[in-house]
């Protein structure tokens, strides 16, 4: 029987959650006995190649591209897990949510104290994904089946959750493994 496939992605996150995933250390050998990675920054596959059992989402959505990727994951994964505070509640990027977008852009590209931009140009190349008005947690964009908060969730949390999911057991995190920081 072929192994279940797991896809992972980092949207509006800092890759900290993926670093935490790597922090499972030598358990990664057990993990690759259990699963095959599909699209993921770990193997650099750019698009989901076939149906996946589990999709891990780091980060919320701050731009169009994040939304497209998240939709690709929802379409191709049986179970979607939002992991980390950015995916579950917007996280640090969502700190811009109570500041109007124009003010954010002006601060970043025009008025910031370290900015040198005499023509006041704001990047608008079509290659650059358009920013959304706000940063949205993953579940406000597509349906999410499980949430693993934490900044980042600890390697033990990720390990416990993944092994439970892959063996069809209920995802009941012990008290010490559910943290928001």
Helix axes 155-166, 27-34, angle to 10 degrees: 20
Q: Contact 81/147 with Cβ under 8 angstroms? A: yes
d(C-alpha 13, C-alpha 149), whole Å: 13
Integer angstrom CA distances of residue 118 from 103, 110, 121, 125, 136: 18, 8, 8, 19, 33
Q: How far is the CB of 25 from other proteins (least distance, A)?
A: 19
140 binds other proteins (CB under 8 A): yes
Q: How far is the CB of 17 from other proteins (least distance, A)?
A: 12
- Residue closer to other proteins by CB (options 97, 163) is 97
Q: How far is the CB of 67 from other proteins (least distance, A)?
A: 16
Residues 80-139 binding other proteins (CB under 8 A) are 82, 85, 88-92, 94-95, 97-98, 134, 137, 139
Helix (H, G, I), strand (E, B) or coil at 116: coil
Among 34, 42, 112, 180, binds other proteins (CB under 8 A): 180
Helix (H, G, I), strand (E, B) or coil at 163: helix
Q: How far is the CB of 58 from other proteins (least distance, A)?
A: 14
Q: Contact 7/56 with Cβ under 8 angstroms? A: yes
Binding segment toward other proteins, per CB under 8 A, in 51-59, 101-109, 121-129, 146-154: 146-154
List of E strands, 120-174 = 131-136, 146-148
Residues lying near other proteins in the complex (CB under 8 A) = 82, 85, 88-92, 94-95, 97-98, 134, 137, 139-140, 144, 146-149, 151, 173, 175-176, 178-181
């Amino acid at each position: 029987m072929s192994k279940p496939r797991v896809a992972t992605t980092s949207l509006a996150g800092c890759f900290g959650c993926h670093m935490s995933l790597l922090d499972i250390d030598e358990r990664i050998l057990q993990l690759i006995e259990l699963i095959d990675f599909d699209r993921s920054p770990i193997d650099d596959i750019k698009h989901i190649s076939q149906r996946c059992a589990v999709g891990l989402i780091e980060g919320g959505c701050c731009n169009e591209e994040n939304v497209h990727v998240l939709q690709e994951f929802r379409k191709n994964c049986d179970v979607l897990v939002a992991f980390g505070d950015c995916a579950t509640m917007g996280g640090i990027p969502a700190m811009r949510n109570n500041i109007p977008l124009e003010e954010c852009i002006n601060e970043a590209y025009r008025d910031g104290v370290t900015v040198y931009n005499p023509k006041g140009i704001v990047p608008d190349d079509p290659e650059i994904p358009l920013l959304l008005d706000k940063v949205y947690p993953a579940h406000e964009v597509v349906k999410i089946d499980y949430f693993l908060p934490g900044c980042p969730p600890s390697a033990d949390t990720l390990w416990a959750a993944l092994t439970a999911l892959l063996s069809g057991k209920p995802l009941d995190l012990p008290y010490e493994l559910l943290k928001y920081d």
